[in-house]
Amino acid sequence: MEYKENPIICNCMQVSLVDIETALHEHEKLSSVEEEFQHVQERTHCSTGCGGCHDKIMDIISQMMSGHLS
pLDDT of residue 5: 86
The verdict on residue 2 lying in a domain is: no
Domain count, the chain: 1
- Kindly report the CATH number assigned to the domain that includes residue 46: 1.10.10
The verdict on residue 1 lying in a domain is: no
pLDDT mean by block of 10 residues, the chain; 70 residues: 82 97 84 92 96 96 84
> What pTM, to 2 d.p., does this model score?
0.86
55 three-state secondary structure: helix
Using an 8 Å Cβ cutoff, are 31 and 63 in contact? Answer: no
Domain that holds residue 51: 8-66
Distance in Å from the first CA to the final CA of the chain: 7
